[in-house]
A and B are shown apart, each in its own frame.
Chain A
């Protein structure tokens, strides 16, 4: 059965969306709607749409997350960084390589923490440098991709 945009918005509107449940219920058919929401004016809904696209996962999710990674809104790029952890490895690497050098400290932080255990040498080198800098700036602990997946 086709998914309509109202069903997608209904899944994103709660204060605390249940992303795994929404991904399972809506599936890849929601991705065109999510991509439109990512380009819309409601930045909170766009961030939620980005993260849901990542949780849906697979190759079909990549365009939506990449679009979010290019957003002018930092909170949408943050969601893209978090979502990237759930993309296929080569796409995750590409998105995160862009976001770890974002001008916004929050985007950079989430990109660094979202970096998977398996990544390109270039990304690993950059992430290691940034993690050291962040450790000295805060007591916040880094977390593995495995922990992220437990969400």
Chain B
């Protein structure tokens, strides 16, 4: 099942808490209302209990804060307790994964707060927040986004949830948000072992042309990744695609990084001779220091792609 992301979450420099900036600011435990001054634009994984991380984080419609709904509701600065009414289910990277480290759960108010400053902020339960008993949470700051659709002829051995999570982790270092826009199964047995020819950008086979015509519910500048059983000749994946139909094919037995690597090609990246980097031409099975890196010039190339949009 596809899972989405929701941006416009903000850090409040008064209380150190996380709140949703897509609505008018709610009351802040430090007085007045939350502020987004100095905050990045955080992207949260939304409606995705299958995504790696800890689910059951909730938006409180009274104070706009993010709180953990797996415990009884803590005190809300708007009065009474936090509420999950109207909230989606957010999954936060926990102990590992993408994003800025230093985010904590406060056992007093159940809220999410940033411990990386020299202050515990203000807690709606009184005093400062606490990090006692909290794991290490990570939050992704983004300035761009890409939209990925997956169409599956044969499911990969590594789940698409994990592949998407891995890509999100690497692309977050380039401030690019990865949205999993849709997931669909395709019953096309004669394209399941896909002839990709020499797999050269700008040159596609009849089979690639036929497969890449499957773009139901896909926008013009959105990427489709087709999961096939194998390619002919045998590759982990192939990013060659017909003009105006950006996408890639990834095989069932590909590595955990092939998906992100092939989308990197779609966004304009080339191979490099460095096994610490996503775009290694030596095989992502040989990546030595996961998660693999993107360097500044690669981030610029990705950002300059027409498939990448400002947020």
Please list the residues of chain A having a beta carbon within 8 angstroms of any beta carbon in chain B. 10, 13-17, 19, 43-44, 47-48, 50-51, 74-75, 78-79, 82, 105-107, 109-110, 113, 134, 137-141, 143, 150-151
Contacts and interface: CB of A to CB of B under 8 A. Distances in A.
Interface in B270-291: 271, 281-286
B283 A14 contact: yes
A43 B202 CA distance: 29
A13 B286 contact: yes
A113 B195 contact: yes
Contacts of A143: 195, 205-206
Query: How would you classify the secondary structure of chain A's contact residues: helix, strand, loop or mixed?
Result: helix
B210 A139 contact: yes
B233 interface: yes
A20 to B, nearest CB: 9
A140 B233 contact: no
B230 A138 contact: no
Interface string B52-93: 000000000000000000000000000000000000000000
A138 B283 contact: no
A44 B193 CA distance: 13
B267 to A, nearest CB: 15
B202 to A, nearest CB: 15
B207 interface: yes
A10 B286 CA distance: 9
A93 B181 CA distance: 46
B199 A14 contact: no
A82 B285 CA distance: 24
5 contacts: A14-B283, A50-B234, A74-B229, A140-B206, A143-B195
A107 B192 CA distance: 11
Contact of B282 (A10, A110, A138): A10
B234 A105 contact: no
Q: Which 6 A-B pairs have the closest CB atoms?
A: A13-B283, A106-B193, A47-B234, A15-B236, A44-B253, A75-B230
Contact of A140 (B190, B236, B286): B190
Contacts of B165: none
B192 A106 contact: yes
B223 to A, nearest CB: 17
A75 B193 contact: yes
A48 B234 contact: yes
B306 interface: no
Given A47-B230, A78-B234, A151-B198, 15 more contacts: A14-B271, A15-B254, A17-B234, A48-B233, A74-B229, A82-B234, A105-B189, A106-B189, A106-B229, A107-B193, A138-B190, A139-B210, A140-B206, A140-B207, A150-B197
B190 A134 contact: yes
A48 B283 CA distance: 13
A83 to B, nearest CB: 9
A16 B159 CA distance: 21
A44 B251 contact: yes
A138 B191 contact: yes
A82 B235 CA distance: 13
A150 to B, nearest CB: 8
